[in-house]
């Protein structure tokens, strides 16, 4: 599944519900965090996105601590990459395998289905996403 809307020259991708993929993090909420593999505030993906950054999640302290424990510290700022660090309540395009790992450990953050790319379904069951949806 390629995740692109048919007839749109591959400019717009689909969400897990089969509709147009919506932004994961809207800049109108004055957030300084820009998410997505392409830093376009959408969980768009492509051949160069080897991590499949396609699951739009709302961060929790529990998940951020889990992620740090397994080697991916998302809460510490990295100024040289203009990354302020994530906090509870921030939206983020998470790697599908990391979300699945967190799910299996009981630490998965909630998912925004309308903003989660359909390509996620190559790794995660829709049923699991729906059970953990906001």
Domain assignments of the chain as residue spans, ordered by start: 27-125
What pLDDT score does 11 carry?
Answer: 65
What pLDDT score does 6 carry?
Answer: 45
What pLDDT score does 89 carry?
Answer: 94
Phi, psi of 118 (to 5 degrees): -60, -25
What pLDDT score does 116 carry?
Answer: 98
What pLDDT score does 12 carry?
Answer: 80
CA distance 104 to 84: 28
Rounded to 10°, the helix 61-69/96-104 angle is 100
What pLDDT score does 59 carry?
Answer: 97
CATH topology of domain 27-125: Phenylalanyl-tRNA Synthetase; Chain B, domain 1 (3.30.56)
First-last CA distance in the chain: 25
Tens-digit pLDDT profile for the chain (134 aa)?
A: 455 444 444 568 999 999 999 999 855 555 678 999 999 999 999 999 999 999 999 999 999 999 999 999 999 999 998 889 999 999 999 999 999 999 999 999 999 999 999 999 999 999 999 999 99
């Amino acid at each position: 599944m390629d995740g692109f809307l048919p007839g749109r020259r591959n400019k717009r991708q689909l969400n897990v519900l089969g509709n147009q993929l919506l932004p994961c993090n809207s800049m109108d909420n004055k957030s300084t965090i820009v998410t997505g593999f392409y830093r376009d505030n959408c969980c768009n993906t492509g051949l160069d996105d080897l991590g499949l950054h396609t699951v739009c999640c709302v961060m929790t302290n529990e998940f951020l601590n889990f992620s740090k424990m397994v080697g991916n510290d998302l809460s510490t700022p990295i100024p040289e990459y203009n990354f302020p660090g994530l906090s509870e309540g921030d939206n983020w395009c998470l790697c599908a395998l990391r979300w699945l790992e967190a799910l299996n450990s009981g630490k998965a953050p909630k998912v925004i289905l309308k903003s989660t790319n359909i390509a996620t379904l190559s790794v995660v069951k829709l049923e699991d996403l729906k059970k953990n949806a906001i």
